[in-house]
Amino acid sequence: MNDPRFAGIGMTSARTRDRLVQRLREHGITNPAVLDRIRNVPRHIFVDEALASRAYEDTALPIGFGQTISQPYIVARMTEALLEGGPLAKVLEVGTGCGYQTAILAPLVGRVYSIERIEALLKRARERLKDLQIRNTRFRHGDGTQGWKTQSPFDGILIAAAPLSIPDVLIGQLAIGGRLIVPVGPEGEQQLVRLTRREQGIERRMLGAVAFVPLLGGTG
């Protein structure tokens, strides 16, 4: 991490990042490992250079192809919710996008399997994670609603785009005790949900209102 691009200056400096971490704390994020990742991952390299000065604002920003980099609070909230309940060896991520969420999560778990339907986004995400020397991640271009059967079951599944209802295929790829974090519902009415697969049945907890791009079928 000695690459000067990652250190940041001015609006991407350590002080600016500390302010973001402070804001997330005030909004209820408590997991110190998650807050550390938010401080250390250079979010400005995940957006267009023209938007770099806004990279540490707590907002979603455009990344092209009609997609966005998620709001840091949401990334932190989803990561914290996924980690709650013990260590995770294998995590499936649906909706790699620019790879920011992947970069926050990967060092906190054993391995991340990340699927994105837009090939150009996936290619750039892969390059960024390589630059950041994050190596415990495998990427796949494809339709995440089908999961990643050959690597299942997963201890955790994180879905970064909103389906109208939770795909049964993905619940089926969750290990016993595994957690699935997903925004569910139509635009304007989405709720973040945490499912835990138990020996008998599924436990469900609502985590609050959110706004995500839709989870689509097929590949782009």
Compute the radius of gyration of the chain from its Cα atoms: 16
Question: What CA–CA distances, in Å, run from 209 to 187, 191, 192?
Answer: 11, 4, 6
Contact 84, 104 (CB under 8 A): no
Q: How many CB atoms lie within 10 A of CB 115?
A: 23
Q: Does 118 bind ligand SAH (CB under 6 A)?
A: yes
Query: Facing residues of 120 across strands?
Result: none
SS3 63: strand
Q: In the annotation, is 152 catalytic?
A: no
Q: Which member of 13, 70, 152, 165 is catalytic?
A: 70
Site string for ligand SAH, 148-167 (x = CB under 6 A): ------------xx------
User: What is the rounded CA–CA span in Å between residue 150 and residue 98?
Assistant: 24
Q: Which region among 2-10, 76-84, 115-123, 175-183 touches ligand SAH (by CB under 6 A)?
A: 115-123
Among 42, 72, 144, 156, binds ligand SAH (CB under 6 A): 144
**Positions in 47-106 near ligand SAH (CB under 6 A):** 67-70, 75, 94-95, 97-98, 100-101
List interacting residues with ligand SAH (CB under 6 A): 67-70, 75, 94-95, 97-98, 100-101, 115-118, 121, 143-145, 160-161, 213, 215-217
Catalogue the active-site residues: 70
